[in-house]
């Protein structure tokens, strides 16, 4: 029963099997003990209809054609069958799916210049991440596929900002980018690869000193991170310098090496507004954080002569780092994210 139904599946309306699908037939019949599963797949899976469409040549026999179908586990399974049976050349199916998705997504962007820029960035930076040895879809690729889509969406969202405010990527001021990162947390910091690529192409003068989030960092929930922020804002049990340093790490992703190199002149204020320069341009701090920074300046030594000009003074500044606000966990530089405007 199974051989007959399978032969009909890969044949045209005149009963002639498609030569490119004979390998698929042989692959599915290789194990007699698997006959019931194959029969069930032929009867129930919508992908079996796709195979017949390939046999009658209304659908190309290619991974591209499968990738253009709605993405489900069934499409991934069909792609794996075609690859493993030798019906199509072995390629990274997730890369093909990504390229198909990119075409559809970028086509929705109204601005032609942004569309061209996103196509270039995807082709040069995002898609080559799938340049490892060709294979059918696997869990690690599925994760990369999802992350790549999210990243390109974030870049597209960011590129809308300068346009709405009368700037472009080449004229956008650093302070506007820093404010955007502060307001968008992890999503903002994950723009780092795009900003570095844009600089290498002489498209912008922006700098991103924010560490990109990655799988190597410890996982910290948003609730946990904001609990730490609340603790650092209110506790009297930690030194003021530790509290300020911790807040700058949690809210802005500042690296510890950057913190210990901050001088007094990195901070300026007027009335209720306090700013700190972590990168190129100053960032306006939320009022509670700004008050703590002012306290730190007021209680620390005033630099003169041989006295320290550092915001976080110490015998060896490179070794200075704030202790964790809780005894067991401290978010890595790669895991911190959030918006400074949402302070409790």
Distance between CA atoms of residues 95 and 167, nearest Å = 33
Secondary structure letter of residue 279 according to DSSP: S
Secondary structure letter of residue 84 according to DSSP: H
Identify whether the C-beta of residue 192 lies closer than 8 Å to the C-beta of residue 173: no
Unique residue bearing structure tokens 């409790």:
344
Per the structure block, which two tokens stand in for 57? 């040549």
More confident residue, 314 or 66: 66
Identify whether the C-beta of residue 287 lies closer than 8 Å to the C-beta of residue 272: yes
- Tell me the three state secondary structure of residue 310: strand
This prediction has a pTM of 0.58
Distance between CA atoms of residues 251 and 285, nearest Å = 10
Query: Mean pLDDT throughout 50-54?
Result: 95
Identify whether the C-beta of residue 226 lies closer than 8 Å to the C-beta of residue 305: no
* Number of CB atoms found within 10 A of residue 10's CB: 23
Query: Quick one: pLDDT band at residue 33, thresholds 50, 70, 90?
Result: confident
Q: What is the pLDDT of residue 225?
A: 75
Per the structure block, which two tokens stand in for 70? 């709605």
Phi/psi at 250 (nearest 5 deg)?
-70, -40
- Give the H/E segment covering residue 275: strand 273-276
Q: Is 148 exposed, middle or buried (0-12, 13-18, 19+ CB in 10 A)?
A: buried
How distant is the alpha carbon of residue 250 from its chain centre?
19
Unique residue bearing structure tokens 């709605």:
70
Given a cut of 80, is residue 279 above it in pLDDT? no
pLDDT in tens, 167-209: 889 899 998 888 888 888 888 888 999 999 999 899 999 988 7
- Compute the CA torsion angle 202, 207, 209, 210 (nearest 10 deg): -90
Query: Quick one: pLDDT band at residue 127, thresholds 50, 70, 90?
Result: confident
Q: What is the pLDDT of residue 339?
A: 41
């Amino acid at each position: 029963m199974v051989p007959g139904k399978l032969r009909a599946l890969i044949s045209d309306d005149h009963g002639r099997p498609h030569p490119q699908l004979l390998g698929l037939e042989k692959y599915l019949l290789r194990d007699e003990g698997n006959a019931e599963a194959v029969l069930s797949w032929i009867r129930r899976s919508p992908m079996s209809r796709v195979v017949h469409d390939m046999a009658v040549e209304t659908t190309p026999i290619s991974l591209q054609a499968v990738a253009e179908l709605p993405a489900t586990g069934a499409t991934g399974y069909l792609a794996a069958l075609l690859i493993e049976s030798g019906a199509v050349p072995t390629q990274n199916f997730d890369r093909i799916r990504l390229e198909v998705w990119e075409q559809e997504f970028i086509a929705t962007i109204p601005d032609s210049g942004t569309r061209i820029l996103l196509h270039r960035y995807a082709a040069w930076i995002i898609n080559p991440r799938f340049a490892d040895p060709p294979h059918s879809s696997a869990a690690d690729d599925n994760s990369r596929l999802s992350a790549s889509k999210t990243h390109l969406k974030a870049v597209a969202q960011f590129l809308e900002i300068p346009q709405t405010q009368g700037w472009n990527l080449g004229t956008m001021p650093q302070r506007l980018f820093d404010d955007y990162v502060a307001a968008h947390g992890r999503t903002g910091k994950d723009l780092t690869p795009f900003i570095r690529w844009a600089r290498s192409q002489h498209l912008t003068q922006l700098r991103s000193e924010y560490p990109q989030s990655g799988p190597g960092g410890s996982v910290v929930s948003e609730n946990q991170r904001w609990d730490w922020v609340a603790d650092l804002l209110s506790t009297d049990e930690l030194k003021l310098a530790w509290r300020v340093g911790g807040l700058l790490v949690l809210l802005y992703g500042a690296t510890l090496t950057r913190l210990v190199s901050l001088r007094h002149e990195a901070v300026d204020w007027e009335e209720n507004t306090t700013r700190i320069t972590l990168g190129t341009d100053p960032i306006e701090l939320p009022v509670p954080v700004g008050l703590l920074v002012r306290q730190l300046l007021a209680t620390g030594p005033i630099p003169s002569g041989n006295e320290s000009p550092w915001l976080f003074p110490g015998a060896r500044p490179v070794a200075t780092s704030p202790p964790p606000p809780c005894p067991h966990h401290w978010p890595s530089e790669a895991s911190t994210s959030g918006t400074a405007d949402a302070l409790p």
